[in-house]
Amino acid sequence: MDCHNLALQINDEARRRLARHNEAWSRRLELWCKYAPSPWWAEGLVVSPELRGLYEAWLPLDEFLSSLRNIARAFLPDCDWLPFPLRVKSHASLPDLWADLPRWLGRKVLVNEDELLPLLCALAEPRSFGTSCGRYERQLSQLKKLAWSECRILDIGCGIGINTLEIARELEDFSPEVTGLTSEWLEVWMAQNRHIPHDAKRQAQFPEANATFIQGDAEHFCQKADIIVANGLIGGRFLCSNAQYARFLDCCEASGAQLLFAANHFHQGRHPAIQRFTALAQKRGWNIQGTPGNLTCRRG
């Protein structure tokens, strides 16, 4: 699906569903205030098991997400566009979900029309991903040394595309063909349109460069590439088992890639996962160089 110039605007059915959500959850908030006047979540508040239990008793996350999912299905172009937290439960309670949202969207149970698109985009691209300019300067330096003219570069797990566009800008002298691939359709939409509804500050960081953005995942992509970049994936929620590593490497090898770059700013916590990945890659004939936080893998 081409996301260029696709306007995501609220329609009448989504508006009706949003109104029903706000009506139902206003009543829940009244009950919370009456019977569970515990600290309302704020950034930095320690969410104890007791506090989490109160939130789950009066403002249960599953029901909140179910209501949002119902609205999103009327608002988004297709069910495939539902953000990951609306497809798979990935947080323990509302405070845990809020902690992964921008500050201005945290603490919210009621949602107005202007907040719907930013909220869904923030769910697709949570704070924990930390996408921003300048995260992989060492990797960019290595790419500039090892790239060649008109090489095809595939950035897997590209998110909203800021780092993909950085690669395209830094390597513009090589006239590369740069493609970013992400599993979230809303991230494809944000990347193609250079628009981050939930974060105007980072929107201003989009590098001036050309790249193509497509939807897909690390285990099943079939794009041809000379160089693959896969930052922050190894040991994360989308690529964390030996079977997934094997399927990912299958795709890398089928693509024709000669180089695989895998930077990981979470390498201390993911060190065992990265060790398992590199051991498997070495068995398959990849030459591994670098550190767990900044791997360069050469095929053959």
Last residue of a domain, which of 85, 101, 124?
124
Whole-prediction pTM: 0.94
Same domain, 148 and 233: yes
Mean of per-residue pLDDT scores for the chain: 94
Structural domain contains residue 7 = no
| pLDDT tens track for 32-60 | 999 987 889 998 888 999 999 999 999 99
70 by DSSP, 3-state: which?
Answer: helix
Residues 217, 154 share a domain: yes
CATH of the domain at 160: 3.40.50.150
CA distance 261 to 140: 10
Q: Which residue carries 């990981």 as its tokens?
A: 264
Per-residue pLDDT at 3? 86
Q: Are residues 91 and 228 in the same domain?
A: no
Predicted confidence at residue 130, as pLDDT, reads 67
Same domain, 85 and 181: no
Phi, psi for 259 (deg, rounded to 5):
-130, 140
Q: Is residue 129 one of the residues assigned to a domain? A: no
- 75, 100, 124 — which closes off a domain? 124
Task: Please state, in angstroms and rounded to a whole number, the distance separating the CA atoms of residues 72 and 120.
Answer: 8
108 and 145 share a domain?
A: no
Q: Residue 115: inside a domain, yes or no?
A: yes
For residue 232, being part of any structural domain is answered with yes
Query: 282 and 152 share a domain?
Result: yes
Q: 83, 53, 71, 82: which is closest to 110 by C-alpha?
A: 71
Total domain count, the chain = 2
Do 173 and 273 reside in the same domain of the chain?
Answer: yes
pLDDT digits (tens, 9 = 90+) for 78-130: 999 999 999 999 999 999 999 999 999 999 999 999 999 999 999 999 987 76
Residue 46 included in any domain? yes
Taking only the tens place, the pLDDT of each residue in 139-182 is: 999 999 999 999 999 999 999 999 999 999 999 999 999 999 99
> Does residue 132 lie in a domain region?
no
Residues 40 and 162 in one domain: no
Do 175 and 198 reside in the same domain of the chain?
Answer: yes
Query: How do residues 1-10 score in pLDDT, each as one tens digit?
Result: 778 878 899 9
Report whether pLDDT(134) > 90. no
| Within-domain flag for 6 | no
The residue range of the domain holding 109 is: 12-124
Place of tokens 């697709």: 124
On whether both 99 and 21 belong to a single domain, the answer is: yes
- Asked if residue 38 is part of any domain, the answer here is yes
Query: What percent of the chain is predicted at pLDDT more than 70?
Result: 99
Same domain, 173 and 218: yes
Burial group, residue 49, by CB count within 10 angstroms (0-12, 13-18, 19+): exposed
> Sheet of 286-291: strands edge to edge?
212-215, 177-182, 152-156, 227-229, 259-263, 294-299, 286-291
Query: Which of 77, 99, 124 finishes a domain?
Result: 124
99 and 197 together in one domain: no
